[in-house]
């Protein structure tokens, strides 16, 4: 019987041996075989991407991680899924597997900060050049393609500023030029967007966020097509970028309720936005699910749902008052990450420049404008509204 994704999330990865509704947590380094012939045959199956119940060595994963791989593979409709110990490990795995000295990569200017650091700073140590393009200008991307371009790295929507891009146009351009494509799909998750079906070669998600959903596990998923599988498998086996069994178990647990949680995140977010629109101190709400948003059409074209992460642009003469607004929130925690059950708030300084982070190239806003990123959690929305209302009064 064909099952919907909602049902799959509830009924996959059962431990039939122990009659458990959840998979066993298998921690292993050495995997035992009956003969050298069996071990050799099994290694060949792994390298060909065949379905397996165990790896040949613990550095590649265990039965528990294979259970998570199978769920993500179904969600993403991928040829294979690689799991990493952190979300960012997935981005690193893709870049280190596929980019070589002399290559160029085109990177969306609105990417996650550490993605910018590794592409702009670290890769140049290996003679790999990163060029950043305007996420709101397909022509800018097109004009920056050269014969050396190896990959286009897209984050959609963009970190903190939530620009949306026309994904099919990017894929068409890349295929015509034989360029690889990678999409960071952490915001939409594979429940609301399937990049490989659009034509991307690689779909990345930080499993730390919505896939886990409980702020107690870290991990990354790298879903790939057949074209890039062998190269990534080669580096994956050598690098040790694998996810631990305990983390995989926690993420499987989180996936059981992914559809229910995302629906509630979205319902809460809609009510919060309705309140925020009426606040004079808020100049703009950066979130696509709004018919008046310039990104609404692109969101509607590609996504089947929206999640709970947004940013607000606050107009203030005093940065200290914006900091006081964030500090005074009682139900919104202050901290990195998002996608868990709890609401979070953080002031994002996109002007920041340091030894490693050079700041955004194309996004511009005035000196009296500040971006606060909000993750809307699963609390009662009216409580969140009251909290925001009480704290907004501190903005001067």
- The domain locations on the chain are 5-255, 258-392
Q: What pLDDT, on a 0 to 100 scale, did the predictor assign at position 218?
A: 96
Q: Above 50 in pLDDT, residue 16?
A: yes
- pLDDT for the residue 223: 98
pLDDT score recorded for residue 358: 60
Confidence of residue 235 (pLDDT cuts 50, 70, 90): very high
Please compute the mean of the pLDDT values over residues 179-206 and round it to a whole number: 97
pLDDT of 351 reads 67
State the pLDDT at residue 372.
97
pTM: 0.92
- Half-sphere CA count of 52, side-chain side, radius 13 A: 25
189-193: long-range contacts at Cβ-Cβ below 8 A with a sequence spacing of 24 or more?
189/258, 189/262, 189/307, 190/72, 190/75, 190/76, 190/223, 191/5, 191/75, 191/258, 191/259, 191/262, 191/304, 191/305, 192/262, 192/303, 192/304, 192/305, 192/306, 192/307, 193/302, 193/303, 193/304
Query: Cα separations (Å) of 9 from 68, 165, 261, 288?
Result: 11, 29, 12, 27
pLDDT tens for each residue of 338-366: 999 999 999 988 766 544 456 778 877 78
User: Using an 8 Å Cβ cutoff, are 321 and 396 in contact?
Assistant: yes
Q: What is the DSSP string of 301-319?
A: HH-S---SEEEEEEE-S-H
Strand ranges in the chain using DSSP code E only, listed in sequence order: 80-84, 104-108, 129-133, 149-155, 180-184, 202-206, 220-224, 282-286, 309-315, 344-348, 369-375
* Residue pLDDT, tens place only, 131-156: 999 999 999 999 999 999 999 999 99
Q: Measuring CA to CA, which residue among 111, 153, 154 is closest to residue 128?
A: 153
Average pLDDT over residues 61-80: 95
Which residues touch 8 (CB under 8 Å, ≥6 apart)?
71, 74, 75
Highest CATH level, class, for 258-392:
alpha beta
**What average pLDDT does this structure show over 57-74?**
93
User: What pLDDT is stored for residue 354 in this prediction?
Assistant: 46
- Calculate what percentage of the chain has a pLDDT beyond 90: 77
> pLDDT grade, residue 22 (50/70/90)?
confident
Residue 172 has pLDDT above 50, yes or no: yes
With bands split at pLDDT 50, 70 and 90, how would you rate the model's confidence at 290? confident
Class of domain 5-255: alpha beta
pLDDT per position as a tens digit, 368-393: 899 999 999 999 999 999 999 999 99
For the residues 276-301, what does the mean pLDDT come to?
89
Q: What local confidence, expressed as pLDDT, does residue 151 receive?
A: 98
CA geometry: angle 191, 107, 169, nearest 5 deg:
60
pLDDT of residue 1: 62
Nearest to 165 by CA among 143, 198, 197: 198
Please tell me the predicted confidence (pLDDT) of residue 355: 46
């Amino acid at each position: 019987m064909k099952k919907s994704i909602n049902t799959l999330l509830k009924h996959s990865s059962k431990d039939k041996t122990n009659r458990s509704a959840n998979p066993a947590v298998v921690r292993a380094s050495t995997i035992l075989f009956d003969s050298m012939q069996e071990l050799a045959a099994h290694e060949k199956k792994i390298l060909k991407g065949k379905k397996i119940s165990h790896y040949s060595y613990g550095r590649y994963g265990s039965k528990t991680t294979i259970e998570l791989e199978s769920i993500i593979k179904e969600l993403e409709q991928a040829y294979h899924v690689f799991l990493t110990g952190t979300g960012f490990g997935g981005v690193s795995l893709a870049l280190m597997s596929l980019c070589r000295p002399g290559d160029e990569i085109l990177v969306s200017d609105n990417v996650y900060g550490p993605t910018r650091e590794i592409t702009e700073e670290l890769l140049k140590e290996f003679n790999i050049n990163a060029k950043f393009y305007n996420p709101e200008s397909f022509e800018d991307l097109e004009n920056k393609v050269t014969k050396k371009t190896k990959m286009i790295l897209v984050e959609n929507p963009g970190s903190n500023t939530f620009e949306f891009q026309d994904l099919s146009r990017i894929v068409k351009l890349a295929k015509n030029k034989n360029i690889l494509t990678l999409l960071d799909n952490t915001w939409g998750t594979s429940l609301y967007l399937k990049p490989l079906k659009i034509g991307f070669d690689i779909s990345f998600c930080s499993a730390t966020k919505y896939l886990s959903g409980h702020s107690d596990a870290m991990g990354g998923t790298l879903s790939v097509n057949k074209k890039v599988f062998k190269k990534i498998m080669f580096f994956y086996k050598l690098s040790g970028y694998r996810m631990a069994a305990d983390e995989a178990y926690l993420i499987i647990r989180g996936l059981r309720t992914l559809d229910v949680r995302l629906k509630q995140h979205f319902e809460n977010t809609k009510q919060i936005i309705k309140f925020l629109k009426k606040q004079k101190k808020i100049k703009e709400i950066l979130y696509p699910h709004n018919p008046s948003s310039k990104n609404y059409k692109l969101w509607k074209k590609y996504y089947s749902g929206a999640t709970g992460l947004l940013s607000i642009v606050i107009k203030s003469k005093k940065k200290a008052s914006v900091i006081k607004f964030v500090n005074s929130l009682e139900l919104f925690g202050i901290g990195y990450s998002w996608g868990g059950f709890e609401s979070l708030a953080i002031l994002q300084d996109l002007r920041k420049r340091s030894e490693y982070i050079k700041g955004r190239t194309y996004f511009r806003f005035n000196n009296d404008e500040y971006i606060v990123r909000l993750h809307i959690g699963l609390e009662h929305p009216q409580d969140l509204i009251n909290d925001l209302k009480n704290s907004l009064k501190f903005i001067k």
